[in-house]
Each structure stands twice: as C-alpha cells, then as structure tokens.
C-alpha cells in the first residue's frame, strides 16, 4: 500500500511548489492512471512514489515505511519504474546484460537470473534481440527492454511514466494487455502516467492532476462523464466517447447518417 499524506514538493532552488497538499492511498493490486496536462506534476508524483524525489513536506509511506533518504533504497526493491525515455535506463552492452543489471543488484542467484531474463524478454516479445546492443534498438524496442528489466525484478508495484509513448499501436496494445495480465493474475499494483485517456480508461481508477493538485480521483467512467470540462485540465476525451456523445446527443441512427468527423477531432 502507498499512502501520501499532505504531500507538497518543490524542486531545489525553485520558488514554487510543483505538487501541493496531495492526499492519496493506493491499495495493493490497484491499477491507477495519472493524467493531466504537461507540467501538471505527473512525473514528479511518480518519482515521489519510489523515492526518486522526497516530499518537501508531508509523508509518503510505502508498505508502512516512511520514505526518507535512508529508506528509499529499500522501496526500490519492490517498486519498479519505467520511464518515458528508456535511453536513461540502459547500462548493459547487450539487451540481456541490461535486464541482468537490476537482478545483480538484488543478488539473485545465477540460475534464477537466467530464467527471469528469458521470461521477461519473452513477455515483451524481445527474445530475438537478447544479444543486441540496446543503443541500436528503435524507441519502441527500447521501451520494451526497459519494461523487461523491471518485470525481471518481479516488483510488487510497477510505475510506468509514459512508458508506451514510443510503441506502435499494436505494441501498445500488447504491452497494455501484459500489464493487465500482471495486475489480474499476479496482483501487481500498476501506476501509469499517461496523457492518453484511451489508456487511462483501462485503469481501475484515474487521478487527474491540475497545477500540482488533485482535480479528480475516481473511476474512468466518471471522469469521461465530465465531457467538455476535461478541456479545462488539458485532456481530450477518447475518440469512442466523442462518437458515443455525438450519437446520443443527436439521436443519430449510425446506419442512416454519416458522422461529422470535424466534431470528433
Ligand atoms: P508532467 O509530468 O505532468 O509533465 P512534471 O512533474 O514533469 O510534469 O513537471 C512539473 C513541473 O515541475 C513543471 O513545471 C516542470 O518544469 C518542473 N520540473 C520538473 N522537473 C524539474 C527539475 N528537475 N527541476 C526543476 N523543475 C522541474
């Protein structure tokens, strides 16, 4: 369980807070999407959850332990984080080395390590790239490897910060269904930063940030029902929602009338 109590955060040497008075509890096994416009504080919030940033005031508790400079390393054993830009995450000379790196830090026995590397590369469909140099992969392939590195560590919580942004639509679908599987079958807690409400709609719960505060916290359906209000916080309703709204607003019979595309985009 992750708890944030009255959390505010300000970057060093900056005058104003990026996050203010955040109160949240994320339960084991929940799939939470964090949405909001650029600069609303999503990445900073994600970093507070695994101790990459420490609260300026208030408390972040992970499994009852308050995150501090001393305790944050412990938290990283069970919270895996995949960033938007996987470049920053590569350390190995081959894809397999890279996935092995986190496991070496956890002192996982060699046999188990080999199994976990193979299994996680298979989960992200990257087995054939095992001996490739990470820097030569495409953006989407790098994101898959970054995800494999985290999966291999078998974390209780996975924090994904725009981690599917470079994947093609099929790749995105594959990764999202893998995440769904991990959550449903293994009870992994998933926290996913995204600007895409199509993705957020898959979560159990959506937290919407606006200028560093929580603007909405609830079910995706309730968020989508806010309709045009979503624009106020820089969000765009999913295409399918707009089609549905247009049909119901005008009682259009889809078999008889063309849709007005310009209202949908
Ligand atoms: P989001 O993920 O929603 O785009 P971020 O959490 O990345 O938002 O950023 C929130 C605010 O914090 C922005 O105004 C951004 O400029 C600022 N910020 C982010 N990282 C740093 C940093 N390392 N130092 C100073 N300011 C930062």
Q: Taking a C-beta distance cutoff of 8 angstroms, is the pair 210, 40 a contact?
A: yes
Q: From atom 7 of ligand 1, which residue's Cα is the shortest distance away?
A: 43
Q: Taking a C-beta distance cutoff of 8 angstroms, is the pair 200, 206 a contact?
A: yes
Ligand 1 pocket list (CB less than 6 A): 11, 14, 18, 36, 38-44
Across the strands, what pairs with 236? none
Tokens of residue 92, six digits? 């190995």
pLDDT at 128: 97
The span from the CA of 28 to the CA of 26, in Å, is 7
Residue 174 binned pLDDT confidence (cut-offs 50, 70, 90): confident
User: Which burial class, exposed, middle or buried, applies to 97 when counting CB atoms under 10 A from its CB (0-12, 13-18, 19+)?
Assistant: middle
Q: How many beta carbons lie within 10 A of that of residue 72, not counting itself?
A: 18
- Ligand 1 pocket test: which of 11, 38, 48 has the largest number of ligand atoms within 8 Å of its C-beta? 11
CA 89 to chain centre: 15
CB-based contacts of 189: which residues, under 8 Å, 6+ apart? 2, 26, 27, 28, 29, 30, 31, 32, 156, 157, 158, 183
CA–CA distance from 24 to each of 2, 117, 204, 214 (Å)? 8, 34, 15, 9
Across the strands, what pairs with 124? none
The more confident residue out of 116 and 174 is 116
pLDDT at 246: 72
Q: What is the mean pLDDT of the chain?
A: 88
Which atom of ligand 1 lies at the shortest distance from residue 47's CA? 6
Does 47 have pLDDT greater than 70? yes
Q: Taking a C-beta distance cutoff of 8 angstroms, is the pair 203, 219 a contact?
A: no
pLDDT, average across residues 51-76: 91
- Ligand 1 pocket test: which of 35, 43, 84 has the largest number of ligand atoms within 8 Å of its C-beta? 43
- pLDDT tens-digit readout, 184-239: 988 999 999 998 898 999 999 999 999 999 999 999 999 988 888 899 999 988 87
Q: From atom 15 of ligand 1, which residue's Cα is the shortest distance away?
A: 39
Pairing of strands 2-9, 19-26: antiparallel
Pairing of strands 57-62, 2-9: antiparallel
The span from the CA of 246 to the CA of 262, in Å, is 11
Measure 203 CA to ligand 1 centroid, in angstroms.
Answer: 24
Q: From atom 6 of ligand 1, which residue's Cα is the shortest distance away?
A: 41
Nearest one of 9, 227, 46 to 216, comparing CA atoms? 227
pLDDT at 105: 81
For domain 2-227, say whether CATH 3.40.50.300 is its number: yes
Residue 7 binned pLDDT confidence (cut-offs 50, 70, 90): very high
pLDDT at 215: 97
Which atom of ligand 1 lies at the shortest distance from residue 40's CA? 3
CB-based contacts of 162: which residues, under 8 Å, 6+ apart? 83, 84, 193, 194, 195
Tokens of residue 201, six digits? 């709609």
- pLDDT tens-digit readout, 103-162: 888 888 999 999 999 999 999 999 999 999 998 888 888 889 999 999 999 999 999 999
Domain residue limits, the chain:
2-227, 235-265
pLDDT at 159: 95
């Amino acid at each position: 369980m992750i708890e944030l109590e009255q959390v505010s955060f300000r970057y060093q040497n900056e005058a104003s807070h990026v996050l203010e008075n955040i109160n949240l509890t994320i339960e084991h096994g929940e799939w939470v999407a964090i949405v909001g416009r650029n600069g609303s504080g999503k990445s900073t919030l994600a970093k507070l959850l695994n101790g990459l940033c420490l609260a300026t005031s208030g408390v972040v508790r992970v499994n009852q332990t308050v995150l501090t400079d001393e305790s944050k390393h412990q938290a990283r054993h069970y919270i895996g984080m995949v960033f938007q830009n996987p470049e920053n995450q590569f350390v190995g000379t081959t894809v397999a080395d890279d996935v092995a790196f986190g496991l070496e830090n956890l002192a996982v026995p060699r046999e188990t390590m080999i199994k976990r590397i193979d299994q996680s590369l298979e989960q992200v469909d990257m087995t054939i790239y095992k001996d490739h140099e990470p820097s030569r992969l495409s953006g989407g392939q790098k994101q898959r490897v970054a995800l494999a590195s985290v999966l291999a560590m078998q974390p209780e919580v996975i924090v994904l910060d725009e981690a599917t942004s470079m994947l093609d639509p099929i790749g995105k679908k594959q990764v999202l269904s893998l995440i769904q599987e991990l959550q449903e079958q293994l009870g992994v807690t998933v926290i996913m930063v995204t600007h895409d409400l199509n993705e957020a709609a898959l979560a159990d719960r959506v937290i919407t940030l606006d200028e560093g505060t929580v603007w909405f916290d609830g079910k995706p359906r309730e968020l989508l029902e806010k309709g045009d209000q979503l624009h106020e916080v820089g969000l765009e309703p999913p295409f399918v929602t707009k089609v549905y709204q247009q049909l119901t607003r005008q009682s259009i019979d889809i078999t008889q009338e063309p849709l007005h595309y310009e209202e949908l985009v």
